Structure 1
Amino acid sequence: MTAFTATVPGRVNLIGEHTDYNGGMVLPAALSVAMSVNLIPRADNRISVSARGYSGSAERALHEPAQDHWSDPSVGALREAVSLGLLAGGAALSIQSTIPAGSGLSSSAALIVAILKAARASGGSDLGDLELALAARRVENEYLGVPCGIMDQVAVAIPQPGQAIALDTATLDYTVVPLPADHTMVVIHSGLTRKLTDGRYKARKEECDAAREAIGRDDICRLDPEEIAAARGLDESVRKRARHCATEHRRVLAAVEALEGGDTCTLGALMNMSHASMRDDFEMSLPAIDALVESAVELGAVGARLTGGGWGGCIVACIANDRREAWQAELLARHTKARFVDAVGG
């Protein structure tokens, strides 16, 4: 049978963490590391998945629930493809990826979107990329049980590598934003892996839900921080989570303005403030990542921050092109578990 192939980039979130499920703005950029899927439709309801990095292959059925297995995202994506009418049954999948697993660069979203894009090609459908992104989020939320927002799926479904998009997660309106020509956004893996299903991401989502319920607003990102400070009946940890969301939303708006105006100094300051908020108010960083961010700035980056869902993964740093090579070498020499992943802009 005919094989259908789709390739989808990973993404780095330049600023705007945990705002996407709270009605706020995000600013992700597509990377050159990517996920490629080769899909061959099957006449039955069986699924065969092989992926570089895993021995052998997984044999599954469309009706199976998630099993906390590496093949779960593939099963969920194919189930969604069938429900959308893109496939009539199962499929054989071959997966190749240059996105580091557990890096916070949306390997799961990229895989699901890539499978849906390959299925769309096989079915000759005209379903748009935004619709596929929404379908991919359903897979994460309903099949995998990850209470994520829409940022990752849109960020890997729509922009091309090297492009950043300012996405309003409340309306799904977005604009392409230019990255600085004289600075590069460098993605460095901390050496600490992360997994959204380990419970901490869900706990933060539940705390944000508690803030929304207590305040009576779904879009807590749109609240004035002073309103959050004055709100009654909030547990202090819940208040801190809400404060991060509201201030982070405003930092994204300011970062977009800075990028459009070519003001990398302001962009860097906003990135540094974002990391401090993630560390202190959202409490999603780790000491080793804090140290990596601190070194990145100390060695010359105009700004640096943790990126992704938290508790591991990557940092992103903004560094002048003419300083990048020496900066990167010294940073990796100082933090021997860290490694270069990708870079955008410049």
Structure 2
Amino acid sequence: MMATLLSPTEFFRGPPEVHVWAPGRVNLLGEHTDYNDGYMLPVATPQRTDVMAARSDDGMFHLYSATLDQAVDFAQEDSAPHGFGRYMEGCIRLLQQRGVAVPPLRMYVRSNLALGTGLSSSAALEVATLRAIRALLKTELDGVTLAQIAQQAEIRYAGVNCGIMDQMASSLADEEHMLFLDARTLDHEVLPLPPGAELIVINSGVPRQLAESKYNERRAECEAASQQLGVQALRDVRDVADVERLPAPLKQRARHVVSENLRVLEARGGVDAARFGELMNLSHYSLRDDYEVSIGALDELTEALRTDPDVFGARLTGAGFGGACVALCRAGTASQAGMRVVERMRRVGGAAASATLLIPAPPQ
């Protein structure tokens, strides 16, 4: 139901007991590899989701999103309706299933993460919810376990059969470094951004609805390709040539995943900004042509970025079908490059793009 826009003080009738936050993420390389047990290189965004919490005094859960101006109320034995409350309820229920006595709570959410842009607003909500409960109840919960619970909340309660990259990045990453992730082992490593470079994220203006996209279809295609190749997951294929015997479209889907993993591993080994940009370009072409998750607006934006003299490379970020793209730029030039490209797109009547954020964020 709709609610009158509330401040935290009004919602809690005083100060909350805890106030935590979690960032979104931008993925630089390794798209659609996490649910294939593969590798990825995300960074955290300066934009974030805040969750405040306190114990409820009436035996009910009360969830309120100031971003959406929506309130959700449900009893301990009931379920939240579909929407932001389902993500939060999933976190609560999974903790309860692990033996954590989560009492009825009041939880207030606000976020400056743009929804539907592929910056992982859902993972930030899940991670921030779990952090709030951890802080409130003083529960032992390390960052990796927290990410695993957050992922299961999205799969089992929101109906999105996601990999674990978004939740791991929101739980463990920062905006100063890349986070190398191995989806099979959950090993992770903090790495520097390429020297002399910074990032700009551009919103295409086309919203993305992940649960309604072909994300689950792509996952099923990858599972079918793995079965035909006789491997546990596409991560176990190390030579792109090995997928050529598959029928279409499984061949194309597998070719993207295998080549994308190789790009991540090359970048992890240490490359300069120019080569990293080339790897980002190759990633986008593969997502466009083999994985077929790009759209015209993202193709136009990334191509416009590649022609800018201060851009090393650009690609869509997130699952695709809309959302944002990310570009690696010369240090100190990303903001100007982003503005030039956005203005160029507007002049030619292209995507309704807008420069979303710089990473790392400029000093205050």
Normalising by structure 2, what TM-score?
A: 0.88
Query: Judging changes above 3 Å, is the alpha-carbon distance between structure 1 residues 42 and 314 closer, same or farther for their aligned structure 2 residues?
Result: same
Q: Is 1:190 the equivalent of 2:200?
A: no
Which one of 342, 346, 350 corresponds to residue 332 of structure 1?
342
Contact 2:200 2:335 in 1 (8 A): no
Shift of 1:44: 6.2
* Deviation digits for residues 153-172 of structure 1 (CA, Å, limit 9, x no counterpart): 11000122322111111111
The alignment partner of 2:31 has SS state of coil
The one-letter code of the counterpart of 1:298 is: T
Alpha-carbon distance in 1 for matches of 2:225, 2:148: 25
Query: Judging changes above 3 Å, is the alpha-carbon distance between structure 1 residues 4 and 335 closer, same or farther for their aligned structure 2 residues?
Result: same
Alpha-carbon distance in 2 for matches of 1:67, 1:247: 40
Aligned length: 340
The structure showing larger relative contact order (alpha-carbon pairs under 8 Å, at least 6 residues apart) is 1
The one-letter code of the counterpart of 1:268 is: G
Q: How large is the RMSD of aligned CA atoms in angstroms?
A: 1.8
Shift of 1:324: 2.9
Report matched runs for 1:145-164 at 5 Å: 145-164=159-178
Question: Where does residue 286 of structure 1 map in the other structure?
Answer: 295
Report matched runs for 1:64-103 at 5 Å: 64-65=78-79, 67-103=81-117
The alignment partner of 1:71 has SS state of helix
The alignment partner of 2:199 has SS state of strand
Contact 1:31 1:162 in 2 (8 A): no
Alpha-carbon distance in 1 for matches of 2:235, 2:84: 33
Q: Is 1:140 the equivalent of 2:149?
A: no
Contact 1:222 1:249 in 2 (8 A): no
Which one of 264, 268, 281 corresponds to residue 273 of structure 2?
264
Question: Where does residue 309 of structure 1 map in the other structure?
Answer: 319
Unaligned runs of 5+ in 1: none
The one-letter code of the counterpart of 2:247 is: D
Query: Judging changes above 3 Å, is the alpha-carbon distance between structure 1 residues 265 and 56 closer, same or farther for their aligned structure 2 residues?
Result: closer
The one-letter code of the counterpart of 1:162 is: E
* Deviation digits for residues 85-140 of structure 1 (CA, Å, limit 9, x no counterpart): 44432211101111100111111011011111110111111221111100111101
Shift of 1:79: 1.7
Seq. identity, %:
35
Question: Where does residue 18 of structure 1 map in the other structure?
Answer: 32
Question: Where does residue 244 of structure 2 map in the other structure?
Answer: 229
Contact 1:62 1:78 in 2 (8 A): no
The alignment partner of 1:236 has SS state of coil
Which one of 305, 308, 312 corresponds to residue 299 of structure 1?
308
Query: Judging changes above 3 Å, is the alpha-carbon distance between structure 1 residues 333 and 40 closer, same or farther for their aligned structure 2 residues?
Result: same
The one-letter code of the counterpart of 1:38 is: M
Question: Where does residue 42 of structure 1 map in the other structure?
Answer: 56
Query: Judging changes above 3 Å, is the alpha-carbon distance between structure 1 residues 24 and 45 closer, same or farther for their aligned structure 2 residues?
Result: farther
Report matched runs for 1:102-141 at 5 Å: 102-141=116-155
Alpha-carbon distance in 2 for matches of 1:96, 1:68: 18
Query: Judging changes above 3 Å, is the alpha-carbon distance between structure 1 residues 323 and 163 closer, same or farther for their aligned structure 2 residues?
Result: closer
Contact 1:19 1:26 in 2 (8 A): yes
The one-letter code of the counterpart of 1:226 is: A
* Deviation digits for residues 268-320 of structure 1 (CA, Å, limit 9, x no counterpart): 10000000000000000001110000000011311000000110111000111
Alpha-carbon distance in 2 for matches of 1:159, 1:22: 21
* Deviation digits for residues 160-209 of structure 1 (CA, Å, limit 9, x no counterpart): 23221111111111110101342111111111111211041111111111
Normalising by structure 1, what TM-score?
A: 0.93
Alpha-carbon distance in 1 for matches of 2:175, 2:360: 10
Alpha-carbon distance in 1 for matches of 2:135, 2:148: 17
Question: Where does residue 321 of structure 1 map in the other structure?
Answer: 331
Shift of 1:63: 4.3
The alignment partner of 1:68 has SS state of coil
The alignment partner of 1:21 has SS state of helix
